[in-house]
Amino acid sequence: MHPTFTSLYTRSVTASGAIASARCVKAGGAQATAIGEKILGIARYGVADGQAATIDVLGSALAEAGAALNLDDDLTTDAVGRVIPVTDAATQRPLGRALSAASAAGQKVEVLLLPR
């Protein structure tokens, strides 16, 4: 079964660099580039630099897993904008919880986004 999502709030931002679909995006419009960094939300579609990007900010969103994930894992971002389990709560900012599991990197999962 494919994961679904229910976005409650989306924002449109101008992409600062290319953004891949289902990747974490920072408030300035760039794809996430560091483990555990603060994000605005998750890109609904891939876009090129300078294009308008639709970002799911609140509710649930589809994200690309950067590792195997279990249902209800606390999630953060990896260095290329995929979601991974939080392994160090002191240094990694949780962005949400896994509403579906992934057995390997590259799979799409539903993420419940936490408001910031």
pLDDT, tens only, 33-67: 999 999 999 999 999 999 999 999 999 999 999 99
For 27-82, the DSSP string reads: TTSPBP-STT---SEEESS-B-TTSEEEEEEEEEEEEEBSS-B-TT-EEEE-TTS-
pLDDT, tens only, 52-107: 999 999 999 999 999 999 999 999 999 999 999 999 988 888 999 999 999 999 99
Question: pLDDT value at position 5?
Answer: 84
Q: Given a cut of 90, is residue 112 above it in pLDDT?
A: yes
pTM for the whole thing?
A: 0.93
